[in-house]
Structures are given as C-alpha cells and as structure tokens.
C-alpha cells in the first residue's frame, strides 16, 4: 500500500527564485490529500503530473499567505474544470469567510460542494477518518493560530496463507474473520489458530507535518514515533533570536525535536529566502548534528513513509 509525500513548495514567506511557498501532496493508497496551498500550488501540481480533481481533502495549517494564498485559485480552477465531487477543506475558522468574500465579489458559484471543517488551534483532534487512514490536527505555537497534522494508518488485517487455506478447504465466508484473528475449526473439530493461517500485517505507518512554530515541548506527543516528520527549519541556529521573534524554528532545533520525538526520519523545509540553494547544506549539517536521519526536502521529489 503506497504511502508517500510529494513536496510542492518548501520556501518561507519571501519569494525566491526556484523555490515555492509551502504545499505538499500526501498519497495514501492512491488517495491524494493536499497540505497547505501557497501561491503557485496549482502550477506545481501541473508540473509534477498531479490532477487536482483527484484531491478530495485539503488541510490548511494557518492563515499566513505563504500557506494558503494559492487556495482561491486552485478551488476556482477545479470549478472551471467541471469538478462535480465534494471537496473537503480543513483549516482555521476565518478561512471560510475569506473564501466566501472572494466568491461573492467574483460572482462565483461553485459547481461542486465545498465542505468546510474548522480546525481547533487549542486541542488535538481527529478531523478525518476512514478505514485506512486517520488525520489528526494538533496545536503549534506561531504568531497566529496554527496547527500541525498527523496522517496515521489504521490497523490492517493479517495476510492469508493461501496454500494452507486451500489445503484446509476453508469456506470463503470465513476468510475475512481469520484475517482479523478468528480461529478456524474444521468438520472434525480440529482448531487452527489464526496466526497459523496468516502472516502478520505490516505495522501501521505515520506522517507528521509541523508547519510554522517556535520550539515548544507541547506538540511532542502528537508527533512521537512518526515514521516521517516534516518540520520547518527556517533559520540556522546562529539566528535563534530571530527565530524566537518570528515564532519559527532553527534547523538544529528541528533535529533536536526529531530526536526527542523518536521519529524515524526528518524532512527539513520552510527555508528562509536568505539561504541560496547551495547554502541549504548548512541547515542539513546542523540538523544532522542532533539527528543523523535528517534530509533536505526537495521540490518535485516523492518521499516514502517507511
């Protein structure tokens, strides 16, 4: 089952050549989810071969422009391209008013249902859940209300050993129960434990996304043990005072947070425009000094959650 993340934009607020504002696509079992939607997101989607009408859920972390100003354009383009299916939008409560004003003065009536789900910047909450995936929002501490998101796989059933199933002539109606742990009893009363008829299911995986935030311990439980963590790393640690002033994180702090939260792998992003592309290795080196499994996010690259 596929679980991967495509980075569409990894820059911070100020524009810089060849880097775009924040946006990502999460692909879980070929279902696409969009996280944040900075300017140019729909162009990036086109550039990397993602059809926007395959996206049914959009998650917005907060209302600074580099994280949502591409949303009106994307939602409008979906309308122009004839979208009919529902689109679910999760974000700060005022976002609903922002969209309504744009549609009012452009005299736009969407051809599809845009269903808005306000997020809670004060508590961790489950905001989306299906049989295969659960998405939680959790509070971060930025200059304005801001949330992170955790994409958590559900528990999957064990895999059947089809050779044993065929040998025992187990009725098809019983197979699903065996996958979920029920034992099988044959006509002679012989009991075959479920674990002898199956192989263990893969361990559920998780992806945590930390948008803009100053370093605090409060959100560590929400990201603990994630297989992959994306964490903003706007500045080098020599600019720690500036990071605190602007409610951002340094690359060293991002590495320390990843270590404290016992995540599997760290992706850095939200780089300040003061750092040219060739200078980003300085941020990487700093993060790796605290957490060796750190990597720079690169636009247009897919990252597997493993």
Q: Please choose, from the candidates 61, 34, 59, the residue with its C-alpha nearest in 3D space to the C-alpha of residue 219.
A: 61
Cβ neighbours, 10 Å, residue 181: 12
Angle, in degrees to the nearest 10, between helices 251-260 and 280-290? 30
183 is catalytic: no
Strands, E, within 225-264: which ranges?
228-232
Measured distance CA(152)–CA(206) in Å, rounded: 4
- DSSP code of residue 278: G
Which entry of 36, 66, 86, 241 is annotated as an active-site residue? 66
Measured distance CA(207)–CA(267) in Å, rounded: 11
Measured distance CA(70)–CA(186) in Å, rounded: 60
Question: What is the bridge-based pairing of β-strands 87-91 and 114-118?
Answer: parallel
Task: Provide CB contacts within 8 A for 292, sequence distance 6+.
Answer: none
Measured distance CA(300)–CA(295) in Å, rounded: 15
Q: Catalytic amino acids?
A: 66
């Amino acid at each position: 089952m596929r679980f991967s993340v495509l980075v569409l934009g990894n820059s911070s607020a100020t524009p810089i050549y060849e880097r775009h504002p924040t946006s990502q696509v999460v692909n879980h079992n070929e279902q696409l989810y969009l996280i944040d939607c900075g300017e140019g997101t729909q162009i990036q989607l086109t550039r990397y071969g993602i059809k926007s009408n395959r996206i049914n859920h959009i998650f917005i972390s907060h209302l600074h422009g580099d994280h949502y100003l591409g949303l009106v354009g994307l939602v409008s383009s979906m309308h122009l391209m004839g979208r009919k299916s529902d689109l679910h939008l999760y974000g700060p409560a005022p976002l609903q008013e922002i969209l309504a004003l744009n549609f009012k003065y452009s005299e736009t009536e969407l051809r599809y249902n845009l269903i808005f789900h306000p997020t809670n910047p004060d508590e961790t909450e489950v905001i989306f859940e299906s049989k295969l995936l659960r998405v939680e929002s959790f509070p971060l501490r930025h200059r304005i209300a801001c949330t992170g998101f955790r994409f958590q796989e559900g528990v999957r059933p064990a895999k059947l050993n089809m050779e044993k199933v065929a040998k025992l002539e187990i009725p098809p109606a019983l197979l699903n129960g065996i996958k979920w742990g029920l034992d099988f009893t044959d006509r002679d009363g012989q009991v075959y434990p479920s674990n002898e008829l199956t192989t263990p299911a893969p361990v559920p995986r998780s992806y945590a996304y930390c948008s803009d935030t100053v370093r605090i311990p409060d959100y560590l439980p929400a990201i603990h043990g994630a297989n992959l963590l994306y964490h903003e790393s706007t500045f080098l640690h020599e600019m720690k005072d500036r990071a605190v002033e602007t409610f951002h994180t340094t690359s060293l702090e991002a590495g320390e947070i990843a270590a404290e939260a016992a995540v599997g792998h760290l992706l850095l992003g939200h780089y300040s425009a003061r750092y040219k592309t060739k200078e980003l290795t300085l941020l990487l080196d700093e993060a790796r000094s605290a957490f060796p499994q750190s990597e720079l996010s690169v636009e247009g690259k897919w990252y597997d959650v493993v």
